[in-house]
Structure 1
């Protein structure tokens, strides 16, 4: 029995079992590798604008601290629960190990519908959440970052709240901050930019002409919008995008910079065009060269996987593909090149690591340096995944996760079990 439950956590467990079986990990080692080291549940009371008091439930899961402090985002969404947060923390562990960062995985969140609270209430909730977490976090214990429903302004509130309790400015407690508050150039674009970079690399290997290629992006938040922009800048026609408000389709290619400005001003793609509206349920199965699921978990099930018409599946979101869908994609490896989530969207944590390093050293880099180093790390991890997949004759996801799990396991084994 475990306190963690739900479809997202079950998916993380199933994925781990596949890897553990592949690596022949003894049964008595598996729980130590899989189960989180620490899980915190808190109540976050705030004063509403009307004078009443509301209490929101918050979470933080730290998967392991074997290789360094834990690292991971914080999401504010109505779907947040402890099982989902635990699964995301587990995936972050394998992701950090895969790309060679000195971190364990973590994730946090608050269960809240952001459409029901004001900006003043959001600041109060952000600060209260951070305040309640102070005994459990620190620059060398647990470093947080943005995720779904959070942004650089909220990271600045997190950092300021922690700093007030320390009596000094501690920029390195949070990444994804505004540049004016100790953030790094290139962090805002990092995840989506990395998705586009890896998709471009795969297209070149598959001899797909970028200037005649098409892309579809599901999700138009930070990751999806910058992935779409990167693909657009590489010469692809982004023929469809979608978010929680609907979808847009234009076979001639959408004007992504203009759409980004609209979404930035209005909070979504809604209202951009009545003529281009499209059925969101069909967006994932449109014919295209590159498909980027960059929204929620578990959007590609077995049925959707069977109907995919893309050549490259670049997973911008965490856990967008279910285990049943993976079985379908394994049979379609010659048709669809999968870039698994723990590699494809790792550009965000890579550049978060750069921000943490810069804050610790108080020495900041130019954006060109940040981007160059990000691409170098992504390319190195891609090469390792591809080589492992070919050598062991296993799917890309299995190869990527095996590399990550092996590194965490080696770290735990060499440190030993504290008596």
Structure 2
């Protein structure tokens, strides 16, 4: 049985002054608050980020001109440990978005029982328009602007949308230059040669795979009889597609920002990935020497992919992909959120009414931050693990927390997303209350 206590209905998390995306995101807690014994003090502290930073980053471009980019870093909560969260490069990055992502990270780290709080960062930029030299100057400029805001025991960075191990290496190097000593633990997701961890580049996908393998058998789903569509064919989506295909699942559709392909009989995922990596396009045909894999397919849009009649839908791109406008079109029986926030709060209600099972991002995509934790630990100890050790520890962590979340959902007869927030809230509440509450300070000696 899950030990939970209802709280007064007067407790609410959403604040009318919160910005649009964050207000929508924080609504996810409303249902969870009904089932946890969390103090009013804890709710008050979780309602707002601990610290937010907005910076300007001047970059000298290759043609000699100067451009100034907007950058952000939000440390939402550090009660359970230093802030932890990625840095994304995207044209739509805003403080509202970064704050929302930092909020999610807070609950993700608590859900996985990692000794971290939640943080996030980003730069408003289209990295595809920058040369490699400009990208390096931007990355180092970002660190120069936020150096006093981060640290090995304060706030730890990681890759996110359109950032990678090379960029993380630049950031770690720049921070070390500023501090005048090597600071490997300030950034995770680095290249192996400068302190990165085995398995970090595939951790998000590997973690999601273990979550799927934990949950789908509970609904009598077997891989060979399960069709899958994946929106987002970046590192996480493509790696997960390969893992699922090797396990016997039929991947019938994949897409990237330009569109997608669909083949009811199943796609040859290694061929699709090879073509994507070599030509930056998704196609189902790839030929090399005497080996040629040809699969008949049709071209589809991202919206068409979301509406395909498949068993499992995996949004692995950006947030707000399934909304009130298209949720009714979703035909999948299960949704696993590999992206952060791909399903809006309004869409959640529609999908739940349709009987669609949605497995939340704060659990499904937590493999990345889990192995980032492993990397941080290895950096601090100076002792590095093999790929097998990393993968085994990751599998144990993901399966353990997935099973605990499932137990909460079954015991309370609620949806998995609410159960995940309950699980995280219980841990956050205990940590926040350990510093003292109204009840504690109201007691007279």
Is 1:376 the equivalent of 2:396? yes
Determine which of 340, 361, 366 is the counterpart of 2:360.
Answer: 340
Match of 2:318 in 1: 296
Secondary structure of the residue aligned to 2:248 is coil
**C-alpha separation in 2, matches of 1:81 and 1:406:** 30
Q: Secondary structure at the match of 2:157?
A: strand
Q: Deviations over 1:69-119 (max 9, x none)?
A: 010000000010001000000010001000100000000000001222111
Q: Distance in 1 between matches of 2:145 and 2:354?
A: 47
Q: CA deviation at 1:268?
A: 4.5
Cα distance in structure 2, aligned partners of 1:245 and 1:401: 34
Which residues in structure 2 correspond to 1:239-250 (within 5 Å)? 239-250=252-263
Displacement of 1:316 in angstroms is 0.4
Selected match of 2:247 from 234, 243, 246: 234
How far has the Cα of 1:300 moved from its partner? 1.1
1:220, distance to aligned residue in structure 2 (A) = 0.9
Instruction: State whether residues 158 and 187 of structure 2, in contact with CA within 8 Å, keep that contact through their aligned partners in structure 1.
Output: yes
CA distance in 2, matches of 1:3, 1:149: 31
Give the number of aligned pairs: 416
Corresponding residue number in structure 2 for 1:140: 153
Higher mean C-alpha deviation, range 196-205 or range 284-293: 196-205
Give the alignment partner of residue 277 of structure 1, picking from 299, 302, 322.
299
1:398 to 396, 412, 418: 418
Contact 1:4 1:82 in 2 (8 A): no
Tell me if 1:94 matches 2:116: no
| CA gap 1:32/1:11 in 2 versus in 1, 3 angstroms | same
Please state how far the C-alpha of 1:38 moved relative to its aligned partner: 0.3
Aligned equivalents of 1:352, 1:358: Cα separation in 2: 10
Residue 385 of structure 2 aligns to a residue in which SS? coil
The 2-side partners of 1:79 and 1:13 are apart by: 20
Note if contact 1:196-1:228 (Cα within 8 Å) is conserved in structure 2: no
Give the match for residue 321 of structure 1: 343
TM-score calculated relative to the size of structure 2: 0.89
2:184: which partner in 1?
Answer: 171
- 1:33 counterpart = 2:46: yes
Matched residue SS, 2:326: helix
- Verify: 1:63 aligned to 2:76, yes or no: yes
Corresponding position: 1:354 with 2:366: no
What secondary structure does 1:63 align onto? Answer: strand
Greater shift, 341-350 or 13-22, is seen at 13-22
Structure 1 unpaired stretches of 5+ = none
Query: Deviation digits for residues 289-333 of structure 1, max 9, x if unmatched?
Result: 221001111111235333322232111011111111211233344
Q: Work out the CA distance in 1 between the residues paired with 2:99 and 2:17.
A: 10
Residue 388 (1) aligns with residue 408 (2): yes
User: Using a 3 Å threshold, how does the CA distance of structure 1 residues 126 and 272 change in structure 2: closer, same or farther?
Assistant: farther
TM-score (ref. length: structure 1): 0.94
The range that moved more, 107-116 or 267-276, is: 267-276
Partner of 2:235: 222
Q: What value does the CA root-mean-square deviation take over the aligned residues? A: 2.1
Change in Cα spacing, 1:3 to 1:261, as seen in structure 2 (3 Å) is farther
- Residue 13 of structure 1, aligned match among 15, 26, 29: 26
Question: Alignment partner for residue 160 of structure 1, among 154, 166, 173?
Answer: 173
Structure 2, unaligned runs of 5 or more? 1-14, 287-295
**1:21 Cα offset (Å):** 4.3
1:112 corresponds to: 125
Aligned partner of 2:385 in structure 1 is 365
1:159–1:287: structure 2 CA closer, same or farther, 3 Å change rule? Answer: same
Q: Distance in 1 between matches of 2:139 and 2:283?
A: 27
**Partners of 1:329 and 1:340 in 2: how far apart?**
13
The secondary structure found in structure 2 opposite 1:216 is: strand
Distance 2:16 2:386 in 1: 46
Q: Matched residues in 1 for 2:339 and 2:353: separation? A: 22
Distance 2:360 2:142 in 1: 31
Structure showing greater radius of gyration is 2
Offset of residue 275 of structure 1: 5.4
